[in-house]
């Protein structure tokens, strides 16, 4: 419309569905077949699925579930599991570890919760990750080297994820790791019955085989200085985690047998600590406290142990228990206390239930007041009282004090970074500050991620590794842009999917076919809009009526009773079978992306919608609309279960 016309008649409507006085609907049959006419026609709009938006590592979950159900097919000669593994590892190179110990925030976000139950995303990841290990799948080394060198400090999930994503981009990577082995808290925190070491070694080995240099037993800040890193490398990524446990903030916590959870687990995971004393109190409520309590129940109480074998002497000395095989071993009495009521503890519910079943006495809503010491200065009891939480602050309830006798107190109330030698980067609270691009403010060419920014989950540290690798890449390219997408994940890319099927658009040649009237042009993807980077599709955008009740395939969990836990280090989680995994793939509702159900083709009253010819198809390009037939009735949009169709064209 020209501005002249607009001024002449500024209130004229360009479209009216009903005439004045037209109050009664016509015959319903007419309504159904014509629905209503509008100037809008369907267009295909991709939005991010909420499962993916809830996964901190940014997994293309919907994409690999489509592979698991057989919709997105692999190239000839490739197993579907490998196809799924490649899609998974575009974001996260640890599917087998994640499939076991990630608390799966993706499943909380899953729209299928609105139908009957979430999709078992984590279980599919577990199965595919294990299949990839069993079949020795490897990552390709980069085809070309960029000539840039990056120092990664810390070989935990954050550092290894960054190393992987940097190598994919052709940058040389050296990982500096304080400990003899890589893995960070996956190895020195989480016990092996949750992350089996064969799985861990397999997933780490695959990353190293891309050509990552490792300098183990090398502590930056002691063996290497920041200045040396700055002169030797083009960028530095800090992923040093939080390895300083916080002692209990009560009088008497300096007793020698008051230790921290990270020290306890490190000594256990290094194979030095093989038993505890009879009565153990663990103070916490999060993942670390559950692991300490569960390990204590497994290693048990070594009776008649020499004082040199007391847990604190093992944990702080560099000696190891050698009495384990000869001494009599009994179950230890383990009490876990939490400020919050048990149902509000931050540890994963399954872990809490397991610990309880295995005989850990879990008591919520109580706070420590004082460590009671014996004549020799060692703790003999923990004085506690009931408390009420005022936000995160416990308020003691007067007159409720009591004591729990103990031989060992383990504080698992939080950690911070060990910044010795790294004071220049310390934000004063034992952490390193980061901006949105994970750059360290005020420190050019320094980037940071994982727990040392904010303690959270493995998947979060892995996501940080990916984002930091991208930021480092941009830094090398001299790109100044400092925004991240609102939905910060590894996005579905229609062109990639079209390339996989050899149906990608032709290259655009400037001045060629002309820039107008592109409906038939082969260089454009028509009537497709990608809102993935800024929109998440909600259950209200879906047609949920399409999905009948289908029970979730639940992994079997080996339940260990209090009498069987001593000396039991077997894995508790049993992977689903291939059939069960494929069935979970079918339960996925493919939120925000066409899953080829044919509803729009079947229900369009005008037969305007048809399947894209087989030779032009790719995921996301399964149906097409003949706009000369479309009357804008929006039936296709209404029956689309996935929310992929929007009535937008013509607006
Ligand atoms: C006991 C426990 C149980 C947990 N359970 C779960 C769980 O079930 N699921 C889950 O998702 N998350 C869990 N977490 C959280 C998860 O382990 C962390 O969020 C994650 O490991 C953080 O990764 P990161 O790479 O930042 O640090 P880390 O894993 O801590 O790795 C940091 C690495 O840096 C090294 N390092 C430190 N300082 C230096 C230095 N100066 N020079 C060289 N190297 C250095 C360390 O040795 C370490 O290897 C748990 C944490 C703990 C402690
Ligand atoms: S890493 Fe965790 S949050 Fe992400 S898909 Fe796997 S289970 Fe879900
Ligand atoms: S139904 Fe599928 S795509 Fe939708 S949120 Fe759940 S797992 Fe993701």
Statement: residue 3 has pLDDT above 50: no
The reply to whether ligand 1 has any atom less than 6 angstroms from the CB of 531 is no
CA–CA distance, 430 with 254 (Å, rounded to integer): 20
Statement: residue 34 has pLDDT above 70: no
Tell which one of 110, 544, 640, 643 to mutate to probe ligand 3, the residue whose CB is within 8 A of the most ligand atoms: 110
Q: How far is the CA of 577 from the centre of ligand 1 (A)?
A: 31
Residue whose structure tokens are 């040093």 = 240
- The yes-or-no answer to whether 149-243+417-477 and 245-414 have a common fold is yes
Q: Which DSSP symbol is given to 471?
A: H
Q: How far is the CA of 489 from the centre of ligand 3 (A)?
A: 15
The reply to whether ligand 1 has any atom less than 6 angstroms from the CB of 101 is yes
Tell which one of 97, 165, 184 to mutate to probe ligand 1, the residue whose CB is within 8 A of the most ligand atoms: 184
CA–CA distance, 538 with 528 (Å, rounded to integer): 19
Contact (CB, 8 A) for 319 and 272: yes
> Each residue of 141-191: pLDDT tens digit?
999 999 999 999 999 999 999 999 999 999 999 999 999 999 999 999 999
**What are the angstrom distances between the C-alpha of 606 and each of 29, 538, 626, 628?**
14, 29, 10, 10
Collapsing DSSP to helix, strand or coil, 237 comes out as strand
Q: How far is the CA of 536 from the centre of ligand 1 (A)?
A: 30
Nearest CA to ligand 2 atom 7: 104
CA–CA distance, 237 with 588 (Å, rounded to integer): 36
Mean pLDDT of 489-495: 93
- The tokens for 585 are 């793939």
Contact (CB, 8 A) for 406 and 278: no
Name the band, by pLDDT with cuts 50, 70 and 90, for residue 330: confident
Q: How far is the CA of 499 from the centre of ligand 2 (A)?
A: 27
Could you tell me which of 193, 197, 121 has the C-alpha nearest to residue 576? 121
CA–CA distance, 298 with 276 (Å, rounded to integer): 10
Tell which one of 153, 154, 181, 467 to mutate to probe ligand 1, the residue whose CB is within 8 A of the most ligand atoms: 154
- Residues paired with residue 446 on neighbouring β-strands, in sequence order: 236
Percent of the chain past pLDDT 90, that is, above it, reads 79
The reply to whether ligand 3 has any atom less than 6 angstroms from the CB of 588 is yes
Could you tell me which of 283, 512, 581, 545 has the C-alpha nearest to residue 410? 283
Could you tell me which of 142, 135, 136, 131 has the C-alpha nearest to residue 165? 142
**What value does the mean pLDDT of the chain take?**
91
Nearest CA to ligand 1 atom 26: 450
The reply to whether ligand 3 has any atom less than 6 angstroms from the CB of 257 is no
Q: How far is the CA of 585 from the centre of ligand 3 (A)?
A: 9
Q: How far is the CA of 106 from the centre of ligand 2 (A)?
A: 6
> Each residue of 564-603: pLDDT tens digit?
999 999 999 999 999 999 999 999 999 999 999 999 999 9
pTM for the predicted model, two decimal places: 0.92
Statement: residue 23 has pLDDT above 80: no
Q: How far is the CA of 184 from the centre of ligand 3 (A)?
A: 31
Domain ranges of the chain: 149-243+417-477, 245-414
> Each residue of 610-649: pLDDT tens digit?
999 999 999 999 999 998 899 888 899 999 999 999 988 7
> Is pLDDT larger for residue 406 or for residue 524?
406
Classify domain 245-414 at the CATH topology level: FAD/NAD(P)-binding domain (3.50.50)
Contact (CB, 8 A) for 574 and 556: yes
> Each residue of 96-105: pLDDT tens digit?
999 999 999 9
Could you tell me which of 526, 518, 504, 536 has the C-alpha nearest to residue 46? 536
Nearest CA to ligand 1 atom 13: 457
User: 349: how many CB neighbours lie within 10 A of its CB?
Assistant: 10
φ, ψ at 214 (rounded to 5°): -125, 130
Collapsing DSSP to helix, strand or coil, 107 comes out as helix
Check if CATH label 3.50.50.60 holds for domain 149-243+417-477: yes
CA–CA distance, 138 with 115 (Å, rounded to integer): 38
pLDDT at residue 366, as a whole number: 98
């Amino acid at each position: 419309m020209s501005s002249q016309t607009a001024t002449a008649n500024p209130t004229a409507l360009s479209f009216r569905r009903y005439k004045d006085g037209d109050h009664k609907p016509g015959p319903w049959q007419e309504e159904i077949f014509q629905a209503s006419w509008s100037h809008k026609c369907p267009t295909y709009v991709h939005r991010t699925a909420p499962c993916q938006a809830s996964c901190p590592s940014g997994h293309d979950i919907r994409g690999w579930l489509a592979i698991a159900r057989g919709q997105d097919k692999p190239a000839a000669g490739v197993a579907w599991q490998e196809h799924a593994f490649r899609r998974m590892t575009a974001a996260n190179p640890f599917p087998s570890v994640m499939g076991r110990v990630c608390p799966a925030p993706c499943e909380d976000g899953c729209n299928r919760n609105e139908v009957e139950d979430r999709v078992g995303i984590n279980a599919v990841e577990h199965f595919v990750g294990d299949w990839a290990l069993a079949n020795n799948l490897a990552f390709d080394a980069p085809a070309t080297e960029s000539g840039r060198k990056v120092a990664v400090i810390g070989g935990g999930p954050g550092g290894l994820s960054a190393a992987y994503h940097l190598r994919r981009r052709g940058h040389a990577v050296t990982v500096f790791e304080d400990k003899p082995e890589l893995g960070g808290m996956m190895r020195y925190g989480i016990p092996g019955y949750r992350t089996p070491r064969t799985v861990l070694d397999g997933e780490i080995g695959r990353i190293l085989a891309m050509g990552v240099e490792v300098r183990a037993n090398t502590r930056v800040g002691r063996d290497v200085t920041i200045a040396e890193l700055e002169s030797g490398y083009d960028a530095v990524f800090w992923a040093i985690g939080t390895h300083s446990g916080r002692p209990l903030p009560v009088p008497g916590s300096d007793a020698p047998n008051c230790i921290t959870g990270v020290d306890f687990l490190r000594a256990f995971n290094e194979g030095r600590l093989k038993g505890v004393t009879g009565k153990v109190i663990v103070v916490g409520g999060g993942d670390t406290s559950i692991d300490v309590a569960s390990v204590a129940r497994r290693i048990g109480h070594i009776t008649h142990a020499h004082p040199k074998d007391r847990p604190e002497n093992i944990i702080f000395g560099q000696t190891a228990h050698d009495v384990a095989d000869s001494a009599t071993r009994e179950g230890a009495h383990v009490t876990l206390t939490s400020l919050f009521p048990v149902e509000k503890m931050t540890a994963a519910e399954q872990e809490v239930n397991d610990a309880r079943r295995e005989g850990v006495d879990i008591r919520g809503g109580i706070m420590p007041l004082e460590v009671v010491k014996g004549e020799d200065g060692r703790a003999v009891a923990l004085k506690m009282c009931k408390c009420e939480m005022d936000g995160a602050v416990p308020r003691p309830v007067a007159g409720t004090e009591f004591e729990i006798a103990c031989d060992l107190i383990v504080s698992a109330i939080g950690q911070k970074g060990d910044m010795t030698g790294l004071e220049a980067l310390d934000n004063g609270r034992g952490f390193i500050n980061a901006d949105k691009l994970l750059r360290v403010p005020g420190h050019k060419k320094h980037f940071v991620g994982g727990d040392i920014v904010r303690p959270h989950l493995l998947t979060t540290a892995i996501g940080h590794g990916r984002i930091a690798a991208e930021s480092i890449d941009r830094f090398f390219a001299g790109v100044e842009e400092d925004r991240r997408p609102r939905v910060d994940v590894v996005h579905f890319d229609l062109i990639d999917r079209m390339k996989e099927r050899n149906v990608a658009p032709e290259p655009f040649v400037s001045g060629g076919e002309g820039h107008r009237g592109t409906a038939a042009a082969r260089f454009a993807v028509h009537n497709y809009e990608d809102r993935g980077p800024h929109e998440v599709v909600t259950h209200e955008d879906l047609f949920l009526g399409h999905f009948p009740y289908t029970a979730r395939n639940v992994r079997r969990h080996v339940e260990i009773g209090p009498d069987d836990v001593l000396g039991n280090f077997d894995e508790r989680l049993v992977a689903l079978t291939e059939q069960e995994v494929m069935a979970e793939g079918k339960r996925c509702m493919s939120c925000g992306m066409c899953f080829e159900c044919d509803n729009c083709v079947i229900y369009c009253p005008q037969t305007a919608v048809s399947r894209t010819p087989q030779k032009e198809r790719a995921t996301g390009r399964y149906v097409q609309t003949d706009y000369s037939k479309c009357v804008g009735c929006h039936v296709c949009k209404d029956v689309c279960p996935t929310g992929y169709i929007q009535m937008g064209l013509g607006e």
